[in-house]
Structure 1
Amino acid sequence: MRRPFSLQLFGQEKTEPATPQKRRKTREEGKTAKSQDLGAAVVILAGLVFMKVFAGYMGGGMKEHILFMLRAFGDPAFSGEGWARLLGARALADYLYLWLPLAAACALAALAITVYQVGFFMSSKPLELKLDRLNPLSGLKRIFSIRSLVELFKGLLKASLLMLLLYYALRKDLDRIIAVIRLPLDEGMETVAEIVWFLGLRFALLLLAIALFDYLYQRWEFERSIKMSKQEIKDEYKQMEGDPLIKRRIRQKQRELARGRMMQAVPKADVVITNPTMLAVALLYERKSMDSPQVVAKGQGVVARRIREIAAENDVPIVENRILARALYSQVEIGMEVPEELYRAVAEVLAFVYRLREGRKGVSARSVS
């Protein structure tokens, strides 16, 4: 038993890569392939590198800050009513002095990795309120989507690896951490900084490895999400180029208008050269304004017949010359002058027409007399 099956169902499947127009619109909406983990890993690495390069600067500043705070407990200047303001001002100054350069380095790293992933583009559309986000059904779809499951698995993986990393790092350096309380301030700070730095470096490299896979997944997921169906591509083409039916009607109307203007020029022509039935070319030659005769109308079939009818109605001579008619029709466009290689053939036809006109004038003069 046969059943009708519509092939249009395949046209709705999103199997085609996104067009440049679709990519541009998606980008304007703020939707791009971006990995948050990659940005976090790069920022952490940038901060660690900055701390390693400027370890002396930051270590010395932190030591001075700690010593100042310890000395403040016995300083009479901090025993009055304004002690909180003085300590707060000093703490703020030390914070800006020590940590503001680090924050600037991390901010530059975040900006660089963001520009690398999505390019330099700003859009306010992601900040716009969308009512469909308040729909509980849409929220459930997002929660139980493949993307949410991947993010959940990725979060559990990062948490598990971080816990393992902390466990092995603390078990290895536990004795050094306990011994810090017995060391002088300089050595204790150096030991703590070294332990924290290596622990942070391991975590950053681990996060970077996960982020690279996440970045590849985000790009794959983004390309999959913006795929288009064949029907969508057709609709986009119609919007960009216009409906083919409308364009066809516009071209038809333009041809009709051009044909109307062309037919208006036929009565002014000096001669119409025919094939004799399939082609017709009307020529006009004004000695004062033209270097050579000009084609003012041409056509084949029905148009050629109409040109001959208008010429006959307005006493425009019609001359049959098959070879010249074909040459003029194929080589010369309307409004163009006759090329040099056709001068002689056209001149012979015009000379014949002019003699014919002179003969008519002579006959008319004798008949009047």
Structure 2
Amino acid sequence: SLNSFKIYEVATKSRSAGDGLDFSKLANNDSYYELYYSNDAATHVLVHPDAQPEFIELLNGNTLSYKIVNHDAGLSLHREFETNRKLRNAHPYRGRLGTERYYSHGEINQYIEDLAKQHPTRVLVKTVGRSYEGRWLKTIRITNGDGRANKNVILMDGGFHAREWISPAAVVYAIGELVDNYEAYAQLLLDYDWVILPVVNADGYEYTQVSPDTRMWRKTRQPSSAACIGIDPNRNFDFHWNETGASSDPCSETYAGPKSFSEPEAIVVRDLIRGLADRGKMYLTVHSYGNYILYPWGYIDELPDTWEDLDEVGRAGGDAIKAATGTIYKVGCSTQLLYPAAGASDDYAFNAGFPISFTMELPAGGDNYFNPPPEDIDRLVKETWVGIVAMAQKVVEKYPLN
């Protein structure tokens, strides 16, 4: 339980200065600290009650200014859990997914199956694998129904990290727009099919819905050692696996796994990427939080040769969101803007042949940052869709059908 855990926001100096506190080292002590997020302006750290006096001493010793942004993480999660329970009862699944609440993996699978029944010429659902605990992972392929084969492909996924609930919500909203509102997006479906896997880490996602005490779970649910469970599926890909920004400690939040592709969920995404690489033009993986559109490389502090193409498409998304809502997204290489993360799916897809590959980090929300309240879902998913549409339009223009 996270009762009496506090979240601190620390004003961080620019990392290039190389001074001050090394938060990543601190985060290695996972039972007492968890690094939620860090950029060159601020760092959010969740701190165990027993470690709080020591943590404040550390901050003062490094003359870092800080504020407590959540005085009791556990308490706020208990309140949220009750709200979600009431909303589930008030809004049972009836064949459509709205934005009133967050939905379970089972409900999301049911929804895409129902869409395929309603639109048999335009929608195809395919079972692409099983999670460690045996949940079916399904993709939805959305077409315009003209039956032409070998179109270009946009591949999108959500729910890599269990607690990032706004990710599947945004991906499901995109599915609904493309299927139900497809006249508006005819141009995006003319020479392109969209293949979408709404929840990669189905076991973890379901686990976060069990109780307030499991809400902040991030990893998969496969036991990783006698003491700890779970692997970070977004460090489990075999492109520069277990290099920088990943951990060999089974108890770490960024544990890369005993070997690459140890996780069935990562294998599913790998096979999708490989199977579509010859036609795939954009891979988009949706995460939270932080307002970023990130592109490779994540394993090294270097830009790929074609970074200008990535930047152009990413900026189209960022600019569209800013114009629509005023929300600012930073666009750039993940190592330079955020932190190194080797073994991630975006680098893997880019290396496999997708010319455009992004991790989109949606805005924070709620008392624990990973938990935008249900009343914010509608605004956030619509804003995200504006960015996705703008990026897709740029991709369609840049990469016409061969």
TM-score by length of 1: 0.21
TM-score by length of 2: 0.20
Larger relative contact order, structure 1 or 2 (CA cutoff 8 Å, min sep 6): 1
Question: Normalized per residue, which structure has more helix?
Answer: 1
Question: Normalized per residue, which structure has more strand?
Answer: 2
Instruction: Name the larger-Rg structure.
Output: 1
